[in-house]
Chain A
Amino acid sequence: AAGVIQSPRHLIKEKRETATLKCYPIPRHDTVYWYQQGPGQDPQFLISFYEKMQSDKGSIPDRFSAQQFSDYHSELNMSSLELGDSALYFCASSSGPTDTQYFGPGTRLTVL
């Protein structure tokens, strides 16, 4: 069965650079969520989209933005990167805003 695809899987950036993370949901899933998991931490909700509209916002810094495109894939744009942004970023998708979320493998971002 198709799963959530995230790219890249690993990303190394320097401080103050920008990064773009991509997420391709399971086919026919219309809802996408982004979570951030710092080292030794639990995943924290960042932002979600339903039918290409932002549906909720969590602890996402103003330096980050995201959108969902017409094909339902989503991109998380991160600017002015800081050392503390180093984390595993998960995307999850669901077939509706209250349905079970299925997680991608994550993108590991390292900021040097």
Chain B
Amino acid sequence: GEDVEQSLFLSVREGDSSVINCTYTDSSSTYLYWYKQEPGAGLQLLTYIFSNMDMKQDQRLTVLLNKKDKHLSLRIADTQTGDSAIYFCAEGSTSGTYKYIFGTGTRLKVLA
């Protein structure tokens, strides 16, 4: 997505933590989302954060939001080989009606 950027690749060892970063541009975004896409599969909603929060934890997932810098991150603790996928952040754009603007996606590869 032209307005939402992510690094393209991340490689980690099994058991380590993964941190996937995202920068967005629409300061009016109410919610920010993380989706997981496995090869040839659909988009699975992992978690989301409301814009007035700075952190949300959900089991192995921790989302950090720095609204001032428009920076969002997803931390996956104890990364497993099953976590290998493409991870998209998305901002809810209020330009027009509500729609998602997706980031470019980060391909996470977990090495055994």
Contacts and interface: CB of A to CB of B under 8 A. Distances in A.
A and B bind: yes
Interface of A: 33, 35, 42-45, 48, 50, 55-58, 90, 92, 97-98, 100-106, 108
B104 interface: yes
B27 interface: no
Interface in B68-107: 88, 92, 96-105
B101 A45 contact: yes
Interface residues of B, number: 25
Contacts of B4: 42
A101 B42 contact: no
B43 interface: yes
Interface of B: 1, 4, 30-31, 33, 35, 40-45, 48, 88, 92, 96-105
A45 B100 contact: yes
B92 A98 contact: yes
A43 B42 contact: no
B35, B41, B100, B104, most chain A CB atoms within 10 A? B100
A42 B88 contact: yes
A90 B100 contact: no
Contact of B100 (A50, A97, A101, A106): A101
Contact of B105 (A42, A48, A106): A42
Contact of A43 (B40, B43, B45, B48): B43
B43 to A, nearest CB: 4
Contacts of B97: 48, 50, 55-56, 97
